[in-house]
């Protein structure tokens, strides 16, 4: 994952791009860089470290220019250092590119280019793609846009790329497959971003670019094309996020803010759906496919990371309340094997961002085999939401913290509602138990608030154990999945080794680790 930003218009690009990169820093933070158009010449500044390190290294250098692109990197190819930071220059030094994703056949392309005498300044797959495009442009004597289109037909992998070049001083050329790209439409200006956060204070009108689409973005023009060079009509949508939702509101970190938002986000997730008094759950997307879900041979849950843990909880809940067979799959494994999917299988795809590349590819595959895809996502209008037949949003608001917190509990809330609804419709759940569980679910926001009111007690526990080198999280039933999620959080946030285990498994080996 990484964050990309672009601006072309009448304002100065640098402050907009830098601010945008800070908002996207959750997506990547091992290095950052920016490329600016300055008098028909592209200048690049880049630096290992955070966006603030980049700013510091730029110091008082000349950063004027009304067209620019920026990148915060989370390295996949080549160590995080100044040399591998984006943007990259093409061999001729005329084109600058930033890239979010992975070019899977970069080694093959690189060896072709090496045999033609190309040399590389970085270890990235990105520079290979860029030189491959430039090679096509030179050989065919064509425009950059045309060269990009030809190149992308040979590229496998996932990408969002943005390019600027000497010949088109106010133009940003973009393409997308498998990674997210949003374009903000302003007056005589356009904004580009991995999500909408860099453009929120300037415009609420956005276009979500789809896979296999190319965008030629100028201050006063946005041209969208497919790889067949046919023009497409950009579908402009109105954003419903407010700026305040992506700011820290007095907390030191986004993650802390998001943890404390949970009573509200769980409430928002249940609101308008769960009616404990009348005993109803309203979820139109699920209702629409209720028949197929009830009669499904099995439900396959596809997700990654924290969402996968939510899926594991859902497996236990759905099997218990609905008596439907459930399997939980890592999207990255599912997509790279040859899974058995039958017509009528129901897939539940869970993803906070709705852009998780592995999950997206996995559901596209399943769709071609006739499965029904239901998306449980947080970001409205995201790729997984659009690729699904139906689904339910988690309504947790933007999650900026790198480690998922409020999105996880919102996912659990949605999954619980789905299980209750289906279990009840199927008749697998008695009226009494259904009503009881609705009431319990309704009380969760209140209980979450009660726990958060005891943050000091939690802090005291953390203080006591903070120097331990290894942690084992144990749980049974629903709490087994929670143990896995707890261990993941500790690893991700504290860099301390942690593992989650089913409680009774301890005696089958791992207990040897306890000192």
Helices 406-426 & 431-442, crossing angle to 10 degrees?
A: 160
Considering all CA atoms of the chain, what is the largest pairwise distance in Å, rounded to the nearest integer? 75
Contacts to ligand GLU from residues 25-64, by CB under 6 A: 28
Q: How far is CA 434 from CA 154, 311, 420, in A?
A: 54, 21, 7
Backbone angles phi, psi at 404, to 5 degrees: -70, 135
> Min. distance of Cβ 110 from ligand GLU in angstroms?
13
Closer to ligand GLU at the Cβ: 304 or 415?
A: 304
Residues 451-470 that bind ligand GLU (CB under 6 A): none
Q: Any contact of residue 168 with ligand GLU (CB under 6 A)? A: no
In the bound complex, what is the minimum distance in angstroms from residue 71's beta carbon to ligand GLU? 7
- Give burial (CB, 10 Å; 0-12/13-18/19+) of 228: exposed
Least distance CB 28 / ligand GLU (angstroms): 5
The answer to whether residue 356 forms part of the interface with ligand GLU (CB under 6 A) is: no
* Residue 2 binding ligand GLU, by CB under 6 A: yes
**Touching ligand GLU, residues 94-133 (CB under 6 A):** 99-102, 124-126
Report d(CA 488, CA 490) in Å as an integer: 6
Task: In angstroms, give the least distance from the CB of 93 to ligand GLU.
Answer: 19
Total residues contacting ligand GLU by CB under 6 A comes to: 17
Q: Applying CB under 6 A, does 73 fall inside the site for ligand GLU? A: yes
Cβ proximity to ligand GLU, 168 vs 383, nearer residue: 383
Mark the segment that binds ligand GLU (CB under 6 A) among 5-13, 72-80, 319-327, 446-454: 72-80
Examine residue 74 and tell whether it contacts ligand GLU (CB under 6 A): yes
Q: What's the min distance (Å) between Cβ of 128 and ligand GLU?
A: 10
Measured between alpha carbons, how far is 385 from 410 in angstroms, rounded to an integer?
16
Residues 6+ apart with CB under 8 A from 55: 18
Is the CB of 100 or the CB of 203 nearer to ligand GLU? 100
Least Å distance between CB 125 and ligand GLU? 5
Using alpha carbons, select from 439, 430, 442, 420 the residue that is nearest to residue 290: 420
Distance of CA 471 to the CA centre of its chain: 28
420-446 burial: b if 16+ Cβ within 10 Å, else e: bbbbbbbebbeeeebbebbeebeebbe
Rounded to a whole number of angstroms, the minimum distance from the CB of residue 80 to ligand GLU is 9
Stretch that binds ligand GLU, among 74-82, 144-152, 289-297, 467-475 (CB under 6 A): 74-82
Q: Which is nearer to ligand GLU, 25 or 329 (CB)?
A: 25
Q: Is 81 in the site for ligand GLU (CB under 6 A)?
A: no
> Whose Cβ is closer to ligand GLU: residue 122's or residue 203's?
122
Looking at the Cβ atoms of 79 and 221, the one nearer to ligand GLU is 79
Q: Compute how many other C-beta atoms are within 10 angstroms of the C-beta atom of residue 305.
A: 20
* Site for ligand GLU contains 77 (CB under 6 A): yes
| Options 75-83, 335-343, 423-431, 483-491: segment touching ligand GLU (CB under 6 A) | 75-83
- Residue 429's contacts (CB-CB under 8 Å, 6 or more residues apart) are 321, 322, 420, 423, 437
Cis peptide bond upstream of 87, omega within 30: yes
Specify the residue, 127 or 329, whose C-beta has the smaller distance to ligand GLU: 127
Structure tokens, 17: 């791009």
Beta strands per DSSP E along 169-279: 172-177, 182-185, 190-193, 205-208, 213-218, 221-226, 231-232, 236-238, 274-275
CB of 162 to ligand GLU, least distance (A): 12
Backbone angles phi, psi at 136, to 5 degrees: -65, -40
For the bound state, the minimum distance from the C-beta of residue 103 to ligand GLU, rounded and expressed in Å, comes to 7
Task: Indicate the helix (H) or strand (E) that contains 160.
Answer: strand 157-165
Q: Compute the least distance from the CB of residue 184 to ligand GLU, in Å.
A: 21
SS3 state of residue 392? strand
Stretch that binds ligand GLU, among 77-85, 163-171, 449-457, 502-510 (CB under 6 A): 77-85
Nearer to ligand GLU by C-beta: 73 or 176? 73
**In degrees rounded to 5, what are phi and psi of residue 372?**
-90, 130
Q: Give 87's DSSP letter.
A: P
Does residue 340 sit in helix, strand or coil?
Answer: coil
The residue range among 76-84, 111-119, 346-354, 456-464 that interacts with ligand GLU, by the rule CB under 6 A, is 76-84
Q: How far is the CB of 211 from ligand GLU (least distance, A)?
A: 16
Residue with CB nearest ligand GLU?
A: 2
Distance separating alpha carbons of residues 269 and 409, to the nearest angstrom: 10
Nearer to ligand GLU, 32 or 328 (CB): 32
Q: What is the DSSP letter of 26?
A: G
C-beta separation of 97 from 126 below 8 A: yes
373 to 432, contacts with ligand GLU by CB under 6 A?
none
Find the shortest distance in angstroms from Cβ 73 to ligand GLU. Answer: 4
- Residues in contact with ligand GLU by CB under 6 A are 1-2, 28, 73-78, 84, 99-102, 124-126
């Amino acid at each position: 994952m990484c964050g990309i930003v672009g601006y072309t218009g009448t304002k100065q690009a640098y402050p907009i791009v830098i601010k945008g990169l800070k908002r996207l820093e959750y997506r990547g933070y091992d290095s950052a860089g920016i490329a600016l158009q300055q008098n028909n010449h592209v200048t690049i500044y880049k630096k290992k470290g955070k966006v603030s390190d980049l700013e510091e290294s730029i110091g008082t250098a000349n950063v004027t220019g009304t067209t620019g692109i920026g990148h915060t990197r989370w390295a996949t190819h080549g160590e995080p250092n100044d040399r591998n930071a984006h943007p990259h220059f093409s061999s001729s030094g005329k084109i600058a590119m930033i890239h979010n994703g992975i070019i899977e056949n970069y080694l093959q392309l690189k060896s072709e280019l090496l045999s033609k005498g190309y040399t590389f300044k970085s270890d990235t797959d990105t520079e290979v793609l860029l030189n491959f495009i430039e090679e096509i442009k030179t050989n065919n004597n064509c425009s950059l846009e045309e060269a990009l289109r030809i190149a992308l037909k040979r590229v496998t992998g996932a990408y969002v790329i943005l390019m600027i070049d000497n010949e088109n001083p106010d133009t940003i050329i973009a393409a997308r497959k498998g990674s997210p790209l949003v374009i903000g439409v302003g007056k005589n200006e356009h904004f580009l971003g991995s999500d909408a956060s860099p453009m929120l204070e300037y415009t609420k009108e956005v276009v979500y670019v789809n896979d296999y689409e190319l965008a030629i973005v100028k201050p006063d023009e946005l041209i969208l094309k497919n790889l067949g060079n046919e023009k497409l009509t950009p579908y402009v949508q109105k954003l419903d996020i407010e700026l305040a939702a992506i700011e820290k509101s007095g907390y030191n970190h986004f993650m802390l803010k998001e943890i404390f938002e949970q009573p509200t986000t769980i409430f928002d997730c249940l609101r308008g759906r769960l009616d404990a008094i009348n005993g109803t759950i309203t979820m139109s997307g699920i209702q629409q496919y209720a028949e197929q879900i009830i009669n499904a041979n099995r439900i396959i849950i596809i997700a990654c990371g924290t969402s996968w843990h939510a899926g594991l909880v859902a497996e236990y809940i759905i099997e218990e309340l609905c008596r439907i067979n459930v399997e939980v799959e890592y999207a990255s494994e599912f997509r790279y094997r040859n899974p058995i999917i039958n017509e009528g299988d129901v897939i539940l795809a869970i993803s906070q961002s709705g852009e998780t590349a592995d999950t997206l590819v996995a559901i596209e595959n399943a769709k071609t085999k006739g499965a029904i895809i239901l998306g449980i996502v947080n970001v409205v209008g995201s790729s997984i939401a659009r690729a699904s037949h139906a689904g339910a949003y988690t309504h947790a608001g933007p999650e900026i913290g790198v480690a998922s917190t409020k999105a996880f509990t919102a996912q659990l809330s949605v999954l619980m509602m789905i299980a209750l609804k289906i279990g009840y419709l199927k008749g697998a759940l008695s009226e009494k138990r259904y009503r009881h569980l609705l009431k319990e679910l309704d009380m969760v926001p209140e209980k979450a608030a009660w726990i958060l009111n005891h943050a000091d007690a939690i802090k005291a526990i953390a203080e006591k154990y903070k120097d331990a080198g290894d942690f084992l999280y144990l749980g049974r039933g629903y709490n087994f999945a929670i143990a896995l999620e707890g261990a993941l959080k500790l690893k991700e946030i504290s860099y301390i080794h942690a593992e989650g285990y089913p409680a009774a498994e301890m005696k089958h080996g791992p207990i040897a680790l306890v000192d």
